[in-house]
Amino acid sequence: MSKKTTRPQWAWALYDWANSAFATTVMAGFFPVFFKEYWSASADVTLSTLRLGATNSAASLIMAVMAPILGAIADRGGVRKRYLLIFAITAITATALLPFIERGAWFPAAFLYGVGILGFMGGNLFYDSLLIGIAPKSRFNSISALGFSLGYLGGGALFAVNVAMVLKPTLFGLADAGEAVRASILSVALWWSLFSIPLVVWVKEPPSFGVSRGHSIRKGLSDLKESFTHVRQLKHIFIFLLAYFLYIDGVHTIIRMAVDYGMSLGFDSSSLMTALLVTQFVGFPATLLFGRLAGSLGVKRGLYLGIGVYCVVVIWGYSMDSVGEFYAIAILVGMAQGGVQALSRSFFAGLIPEGHSAQFFGFYNMLGKFATVLGPVLMGTVAYLTGNPRASILAVLILLLGGGYLLTRVAEAPVDGNAAAGV
């Protein structure tokens, strides 16, 4: 990799290292903790869960609506880098302001968090599109993988330091865990800013196609409509995408809401952070193992296994009473998370008719990136209406079982052919 990879390619990949800190430290880790204990401290735990879930879902829904327009702008060329920086700076600013929100001010905190999510996801759309300008098509997979791997390493590295800050604040010159959480969130903004500099300096903007922005947006919306029409005509692909949207929403919801749920049960926040780290480190080897296991069982059975593991996680999570059980569940999540994501992509690839991979994977990626709309608000609503935080996690079963059932209605593509041809 080092002999072939150019400076612009490393610079592009480092942006994944930069912004993944937001996904780990802020989204999955410390924001749910501080939101419940500090910004929403006066509220019942079920109400704070509803507020957090609604914020996650609203941000994802807004981005899902914006995605076709942003994608059309990105396809136009000439503005990808500019819009990436606009979204990144917006998210970095919102993140940097979060530590200064006063106790009890849950709405300003939720608003800034939502803006951060929008900036994070919107920036990634333009970040992905910059790949075509820094690598030949033959290198897309390897450079994309480089960015993905650096994202795991970068996000995990800073999160490990942040967890150490919270567990041992005095070693870092901090007064207590609360100050450590504020410093950790601020460190994400600094980390994101610092490691975005190589992209700003060395990644050049791909050339424009010379069409107006209005025309490109109209063309993008037209292409989206055409893709949706095509998907609906291919029954197996349409059903699979519905199944994928449901079960991957359940997968993403568990990641985003796990810490909030654990705190609702009275578990210590520092233990929850450590469990989240366990998930990160288990995920890499477990994903590779899942891939080999699916080679023996078949991709569809591998997906059933992964969804089944998540169902066990939900049911066990409903009845767990100790932090030790939370650690065990974290290991199960780490074992299944990457496997479900990877096998979903390979299963879908086998369904796509020849010559339509870009069109169909564009639709697939849009669903995957923004499939955190139903789960968080569903958990929050159930917790609030029942007054029982344990009941909230059972709501995720609706998504997992619904997705699993729809998956049974999809025929797996033969190894030596393309199933979509006969749909």
Same domain, 91 and 17: yes
| Cα dihedral 204, 209, 214, 218 sign | negative
My answer on whether 239 and 199 are in the same domain is no
DSSP annotation of 416: T
Is the four-CA dihedral 33, 35, 41, 42 of positive or negative sign?
A: negative
Give pTM, 2 decimals.
0.77
Q: In the prediction, which pLDDT does 288 show?
A: 65
How many whole angstroms separate alpha carbon 385 and alpha carbon 364?
33
In whole angstroms, what is the distance from residue 4 CA to residue 9 CA?
A: 10
For residue 39, pLDDT beyond 70:
yes
- Burial pattern 249-281, b for ≥16 Cβ within 10 A else e, equals bbbbbbbbbbbbbbbbbebebbbbbbbbbbbbe
Q: Flag whether pLDDT at 369 surpasses 80.
A: no
Q: Does some domain include residue 91?
A: yes
Within this chain, do residues 85 and 186 fall inside the same structural domain, yes or no? Answer: yes
- The domain in which residue 280 lies consists of 234-423
- Give 353's DSSP letter: P
Looking at residue 250, which CATH number applies to its domain?
1.20.1250.20
Count: domains in the chain: 2
Considering the domain architecture, whether residues 257 and 147 belong to the same structural domain is answered as: no
Residue where one domain finishes, among candidates 221, 242, 271: 221
Q: What is the pLDDT of residue 98?
A: 97
pLDDT, mean over the chain: 83
Q: Is residue 262 part of a domain?
A: yes
Look at 11-20, 125-134, 189-198 and tell me which has the smallest mean pLDDT. 125-134
* Same domain for 208 and 64: yes
Using the 3D structure, point to which of 190, 221, 252 is the last residue of a domain: 221
186 and 122 together in one domain: yes
Picking from 195, 221, 247, the residue at the C-terminal end of a domain is: 221
- Residue with the larger pLDDT of the pair 57 and 210: 57
Q: Where is average pLDDT lowest: 87-101, 105-119, 201-215? A: 201-215
d(CA 130, CA 77): 9
373 and 418 share a domain?
A: yes
